[in-house]
């Protein structure tokens, strides 16, 4: 391997910069030239490719976002787009890639590899959603849950003062990992996730019981992708059946995606970035590097994308048990 390309794609996640830094510095130390591909697959198609040296990743470890920027490319979903991307890589003599992203990024990488098997691609899990199989934690998740936790702590103060029920929507279009952890960490009264069918009646009963037992403020955490709807929708449905309570809705949104990565995040991102380069040096391709029980693991991209980690039922039961 003489030249390596690195890119971030899909939703950005805190820790991506730490990962880029690790990729660049590991590769340079091994005598490999490194190129940054900006704006993910979109930039690859346009040939937005820049050489990277030690200085280009100085002082970025602590920054949220991604210095390489990110995008969700529609053009890369087409055969023509991928052919253009392949040609741009060939122009630069890049045959090895580190792809930092989530399921969309890895799905793109799998198709790309099927069409151009002469390429080598190793994925690094970078998404706040933690919804990839083959790693206990994805880059971005720890920071996102800490950001959400602090925001919900603030909401609890005002919820208590005014005896209100708050519906707090957290990110997670297809997965409830952010919702579940933040619910436990903030002592929420209920959590609604896409992985568990939501019963509005059950939720109303819980809130009614709280109300009748002088617990006049409650926090309900709603994952963005819950089957019963978003936080506004759920609040409306509950209010119809329990009009005596006062309700407010907060959507935390993209504040969960930004911010300086936690210590755990920076360490994980650095480890996985370094391991991705090592995996390519060993001749691996079509895999994602992850960390399971503190050990580095390689998982085929297909498996990482298709077999999401399961929600821990014990953790889910804990929410209502401890509320």
DSSP code of residue 308: P
What is the C-alpha to C-alpha distance for residues 237 and 312, in angstroms, rounded to an integer? 27
Nearer to ligand F6P, 189 or 224 (CB): 224
- Cβ contact 188:182 at 8 Å: yes
CA angle, residues 97, 284, 177, in degrees to nearest 5: 75
d(CA 273, CA 150): 28
Is residue 44 within the footprint of ligand F6P (CB under 6 A)?
A: no
Residue 40 found at the interface with ligand F6P (CB under 6 A): no
Among 21, 88, 96, 257, binds ligand F6P (CB under 6 A): 257
Task: Give the start-end residues of each E strand in 141-200.
Answer: 164-170, 190-192
- The answer to whether the CB of 292 falls within 8 A of the CB of 133 is no
Which of 129, 131, 142, 226 is an active site residue? 129
Strands 3-8 and 33-37: parallel
Q: Contacting ligand F6P (CB under 6 A), which of 127, 217, 218, 271? A: 127
Instruction: Select from 104-112, 166-174, 236-244, 282-290 the region that touches ligand F6P (CB under 6 A).
Output: 166-174
- 309: number of Cβ within 10 Å: 17
> Does 99 sit near ligand F6P (CB under 6 A)?
no
Query: Which is nearer to ligand F6P, 94 or 124 (by Cβ)?
Result: 124
Task: State the nearest-atom distance from the C-beta of 141 to ligand F6P, in Å.
Answer: 10
- Read out DSSP for 255-272? GGG-SPPPHHHHHHHHHH
Confirm whether 233 is a catalytic residue. no
Q: Among all residues, whose Cβ is closest to ligand F6P?
A: 11
String of DSSP letters for 170-183: E--SS--HHHHHHH
> From residue 53 to residue 92, what is the string marking binding to ligand F6P with x (rule CB under 6 A)?
----------------------------------------
172 forms part of the interface with ligand F6P (CB under 6 A): yes
Pick the closer one to ligand F6P by CB: 20 or 179.
179
Query: Near ligand F6P by CB under 6 A, which window of 126-134, 188-196, 227-235, 241-249?
Result: 126-134
DSSP 65-101: S-TT-----SGGGSHHHHHHHHHHHHHHT--EEEEEE
Asked if 100 interacts with ligand F6P (CB under 6 A), we say no
Q: What does the alpha-carbon distance between residue 276 and residue 173 come to, in Å, rounded to a whole number? A: 27
- Count residues binding ligand F6P (CB under 6 A): 9
The least distance separating ligand F6P from the CB of residue 70, rounded to whole angstroms, comes to 8
Q: In the complex, which residues of this chain contact ligand F6P (CB under 6 A)? A: 11, 127-129, 171-173, 224, 257
Active site residues: 129
């Amino acid at each position: 391997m003489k030249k390596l390309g690195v890119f971030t794609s899909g939703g950005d996640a805190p820790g991506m910069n730490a990962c880029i830094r690790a990729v660049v510095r590991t590769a340079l130390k091994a005598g490999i030239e490194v190129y940054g591909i900006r704006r993910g697959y979109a930039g690859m198609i346009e040939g937005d490719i820049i050489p990277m040296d030690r200085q280009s990743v100085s002082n970025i470890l602590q920054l949220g976002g991604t210095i390489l920027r990110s995008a969700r490319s529609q053009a890369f979903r087409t055969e023509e787009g991928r052919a253009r991307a392949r040609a741009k890589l060939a122009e630069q003599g890049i045959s090895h890639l580190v792809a930092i992203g989530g399921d969309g990024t890895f799905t793109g990488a799998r198709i790309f590899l099927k069409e151009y098997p002469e390429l080598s691609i190793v994925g690094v899990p970078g998404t706040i959603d933690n919804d990839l199989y083959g790693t206990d934690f994805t880059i971005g998740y720890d920071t996102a849950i800490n950001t959400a936790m602090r925001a919900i702590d603030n909401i609890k103060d005002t919820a208590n003062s005014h005896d209100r029920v708050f519906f707090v929507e957290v990110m997670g279009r297809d997965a409830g990992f952010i919702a579940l952890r933040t619910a436990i960490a903030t002592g929420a009264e209920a959590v609604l996730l896409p992985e568990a069918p939501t019963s509005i009646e059950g939720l109303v009963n819980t809130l009614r019981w709280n109300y009748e037992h002088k617990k006049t403020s409650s926090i309900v955490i709603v994952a963005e992708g819950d089957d019963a709807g978003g936080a506004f929708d759920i609040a409306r449905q509950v209010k119809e059946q329990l009009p005596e309570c006062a309700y407010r809705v907060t959507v935390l949104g993209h504040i969960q995606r930004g911010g300086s990565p936690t210590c755990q995040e920076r360490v994980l991102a650095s480890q996985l970035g370094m391991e991705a380069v090592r995996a390519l040096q060993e001749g691996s391709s079509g895999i994602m590097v992850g960390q399971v029980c503190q050990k580095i693991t390689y998982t085929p991209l297909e498996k990482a994308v298709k077999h999401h980690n399961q929600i821990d039922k014990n953790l889910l039961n804990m929410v209502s048990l401890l509320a």
